[in-house]
Amino acid sequence: MTLTRDFFRRPAPAVARDLLGKELVRRTPEGVGAGIIVETEAYLGVRDPASHAFGGRRTRRTETLFGPAGRAYVYLIYGLYHCLNLTAGESEEAAECVLIRALEPAGGMELLRRRAGALPDRKLASGPGRLCRALGIGMELNGEDLGGGRLFVREGRPVAGEEVAASPRIGIDYAGEAREWPLRFLLRESPFVSRR
């Protein structure tokens, strides 16, 4: 039912692709919020100019990227928003991960709406910053094991190959030729993806 470490201990692009249709669940004292993953991006770690770990950068921030697969890598962006990644890859040295970019809200709607503020349901969790806000994900979850119960991924609905589209990643114009690598995966027909 819930995905175990072996699921994440594979190349990041495969993990990113296979996460589509799965359900991300967040448990807090206030209640449970959940959503179906509809958009992801793979980051290839030390060999990916778009990755925080590019070139082997191992710092306080990137430490969890160099740890085991199947954990949350959370960071603050623009001093305002959080982004949620799930660590992946067959070797820890590679420092690969998958960015969760958009969810289709699927549980705890009242809680999600309350945290997201005045947004239509289709935008509640559309975008990496918005989904973290809606699910109540902050730095306290950085390094969190996805088997710990506060945050995990489980089977959602099956996804056929024709439903999946790949495209270049968003917001990495600084990454040279890597900005064209087709490492963004999304459900073609989903109205909940962050961009068309």
* 127, 151, 156, 186: residue in contact with DNA (rule CB under 7 A): 127
Question: How many residues are recorded in the chain?
Answer: 196
Does 129 engage in binding with DNA (CB under 7 A)? yes
Does 181 engage in binding with DNA (CB under 7 A)? no
Residue 28 CA from chain centroid, whole number? 18
Beta-bridge partners for 154: 2, 23
At 6 the three-state DSSP class reads: helix
Which CB sits closer to DNA, 106 or 116? Answer: 116
Q: Rounded to 5 degrees, what angle do the CA atoms 11, 104, 108 make?
A: 115
Between 39 and 78, how does the x/- string for binding to DNA read (CB under 7 A)?
--x-x------xxxx-x-x-xxxx----------x-xxxx
Does 81 engage in binding with DNA (CB under 7 A)? yes
* 16, 19, 36, 99: residue in contact with DNA (rule CB under 7 A): 99
Which CB sits closer to DNA, 120 or 158? Answer: 120
Query: In the complex, what is the shortest distance from the CB of residue 67 to DNA, in angstroms, rounded to a whole number?
Result: 14
Query: In the complex, what is the shortest distance from the CB of residue 80 to DNA, in angstroms, rounded to a whole number?
Result: 5
Which part of the chain contacts DNA (CB under 7 A), choosing from 28-36, 106-114, 143-151, 163-171?
163-171
Which CB sits closer to DNA, 80 or 160? Answer: 80
Query: In the complex, what is the shortest distance from the CB of residue 164 to DNA, in angstroms, rounded to a whole number?
Result: 19
Secondary structure string (H, E, C) spanning 15-80: HHHHHCCCEEEEEECCEEEEEEEEEEEEECHHHCCCCCCHHHCCCCHHHHHHCCCCEEEEEEECCC
Residue labelled with tokens 């890597």: 178
Beta-bridge partners for 126: 102
Count how many Cα atoms sit within 13 Å of the Cα of residue 53 in the half-sphere of its side chain.
24
Does 88 engage in binding with DNA (CB under 7 A)? no
In the chain, count of helices (H) and strands (E)? 4, 8
Which residues of the shown chain bind DNA in the complex (CB under 7 A)?
41, 43, 50-53, 55, 57, 59-62, 73, 75-81, 83, 85, 97, 99, 117, 119, 123, 127-131, 169-172, 174, 194
